[in-house]
């Protein structure tokens, strides 16, 4: 039986790649210079039946059109914003992602970012490393995280995991979602501005879709306010980034913990000088344990597909 041809658009993970190499024929798109990539795809289209995508690159309409034999898109992420799902449905292409295995890491980071911003952890670390403790002494009063109201946008797996952790700090939980969730005691807001106005820390934990693009806009930031903190562990485009920078610059927003940005890996440099922000380079699922588990899930889905068995974590 013909070995599965797998298109890998960008390097993702060494373990994943070696597992793919062991089983399949891997086509590494990044090995061609950018101007030759269309040719590369055309030249190998006959062999490519699978694409492995992630948060940065997946299978958009053009890619799908260029791969007439494409059968499955297996994402090395839980987010599917880089996959044209409608087109996949239309073509009968299966799509899988990596839910659950990364839920804990992303939720851990959300809380870690909130504490780091409110308690100025990175600032303290910089303070000590600069030698300032010796010469300047002194301290700053920061804001306690425990007991603060947390507002969550999207109460899915990750949102619920954030809520569970925050509850252990005595934080009341509210959320905004497309619809109210039946089995929770958390306070539901049908309007995001109201949620923002009534919480201290606002966490973005929903999928990126056309509806949620720039869902955190100027009005939401103003409602969150000069003492409010935004934590984004979703996707950069959830937030109107220029508005976010302006709100921080002008003191209309209290602080931000950001794992994602609109144009990764570029981050607005104005943020680099701010004490009330924490900036991390899309490390939400970035642990050895989790990336290995995600890789296993990608391989598991591809293997199931090849053997005509039920997919492990299908979306389409």
Partner 1 sequence: MLSKATRQLIERPGEVASGRLQCCLGVAIFRLLMRSGVGTGGRGDPVPPRPRSTRNPTRFPALSTTICALEKTGHSLSSDMFGLPRSHLMASGSESQGRRGTERPQVLLLRRPLSVLHEALSARFQLLRPWESPVPFDRFLAAHAAGVRALLVTGLTPVDGPLLDALPALRFIVTTSSGVNHIDLAECARRGIAVANAGTIFSLDVAEYAVGLLIDVLRRVSASDRYVRRGLWPRAGDYPLGSKLGSKRVGIVGLGSIGSEIAKRLEAFGCSISYFSRSRKPQVPYTYFPSVGDLAAESNVLVLSCALTKETYHIINRDVMSALGKDGIIINVGRGALVDEAELVKHLMQGEIGGAGLDVFEHEPAVPEELFCMDNVVLSAHFAVHTLEMSSELCQLMIANLNAFFSDRPLLTPVLVRT
Residues that bind partner 1 (CB under 8 A): 104-105, 108-109, 111-113, 115-116, 119-122, 124-129, 133-134, 136-147, 164-165, 167-170, 264-267, 269, 272, 278-283, 286-291
In angstroms, give the least distance from the CB of 244 to partner 1.
15
C-beta of 22 vs 129, nearer to partner 1:
129
Question: Of these residues, 235, 238, 291, 305, which one is catalytic?
Answer: 235
Contacts (Cβ under 8 Å, ≥6 apart) of 47: 5, 25, 27, 69
Segment (H or E) for 152: strand 150-153
- Convert 35-55 into a string of H (helix), E (strand) and C (coil): HHHHHHHHHHCCCEEEEEECC
Active site residue 238: no
In angstroms, give the least distance from the CB of 58 to partner 1.
17
Residue 261, class by beta-carbon neighbours within 10 Å (0-12 exposed, 13-18 middle, 19+ buried)?
buried
C-beta of 147 vs 242, nearer to partner 1:
147
C-beta of 66 vs 121, nearer to partner 1:
121
Q: What are phi and psi of 7, to 5 degrees?
A: -90, 125
DSSP-assigned letters across all residues of 169-183: TT--EEEE-SS--TT
C-beta of 134 vs 307, nearer to partner 1:
134
Active site residue 289: no
Question: Of these residues, 28, 91, 119, 282, which one is catalytic?
Answer: 282
C-beta of 29 vs 215, nearer to partner 1:
29
User: Phi/psi class of residue 308: alpha, beta or left (left: φ > 0; alpha: ψ in -120 to 50)?
Assistant: left
Rounded-to-integer distance, Cα 156 and Cα 179, Å: 11
In angstroms, give the least distance from the CB of 259 to partner 1.
10
Rounded-to-integer distance, Cα 74 and Cα 4, Å: 13
Rounded-to-integer distance, Cα 8 and Cα 12, Å: 9
Question: Of these residues, 17, 71, 264, 303, which one is catalytic?
Answer: 264
In angstroms, give the least distance from the CB of 135 to partner 1.
9
Active site residue 235: yes
In angstroms, give the least distance from the CB of 105 to partner 1.
6
In angstroms, give the least distance from the CB of 132 to partner 1.
8
Rounded-to-integer distance, Cα 220 and Cα 189, Å: 13
Look-up of token digits 């344990």: 289
C-beta of 88 vs 233, nearer to partner 1:
233
β-pairing verdict for 229-232 and 201-204: parallel
8 A C-beta contact, residue 281 and residue 272:
no
Catalytic residue numbers, as ranges: 235, 264, 282
């Amino acid at each position: 039986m013909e070995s599965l041809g797998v298109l890998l658009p960008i390097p993702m993970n060494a373990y994943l790649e070696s597992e793919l190499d062991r089983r399949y024929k891997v086509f590494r798109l990044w090995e061609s210079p950018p101007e030759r990539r269309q040719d590369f795809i055309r030249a190998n289209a006959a062999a490519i039946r699978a694409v492995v995508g992630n948060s940065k690159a997946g299978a958009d309409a053009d890619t799908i059109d260029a791969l007439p034999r494409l059968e499955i898109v297996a994402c090395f992420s839980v987010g599917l914003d880089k996959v044209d799902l409608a087109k996949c449905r239309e073509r009968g292409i299966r799509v899988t992602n990596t839910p659950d295995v990364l839920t804990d890491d992303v939720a851990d980071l959300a809380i870690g970012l909130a504490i780091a911003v409110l308690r100025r952890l990175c600032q303290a670390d910089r303070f000590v490393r600069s030698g300032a403790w010796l010469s300047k002494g002194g301290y700053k009063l920061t804001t306690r995280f425990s007991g603060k109201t947390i507002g969550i946008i999207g109460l899915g797996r990750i949102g619920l995991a954030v809520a569970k952790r925050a509850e252990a700090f005595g934080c009341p939980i509210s959320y905004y979602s497309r619809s109210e969730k039946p089995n929770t005691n958390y306070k539901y807001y049908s309007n995001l501005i109201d949620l923002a106005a009534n919480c201290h820390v606002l966490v973005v934990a929903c999928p990126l879709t056309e509806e949620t693009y720039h869902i955190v806009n100027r009005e939401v930031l103003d409602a969150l306010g000069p003492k409010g903190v935004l934590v984004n562990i979703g996707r950069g485009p959830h937030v109107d980034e220029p508005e976010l920078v302006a709100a921080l610059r002008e003191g209309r927003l209290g602080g931000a913990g950001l794992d994602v940005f609109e144009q990764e890996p570029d981050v607005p440099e104005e943020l680099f000088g701010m004490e009330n922000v924490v900036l991390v380079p899309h490390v939400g699922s970035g642990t050895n344990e989790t990336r290995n588990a995600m890789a296993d899930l990608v391989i598991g889905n591809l293997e199931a597909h090849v053997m005509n068995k039920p997919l492990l974590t299908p979306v389409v």
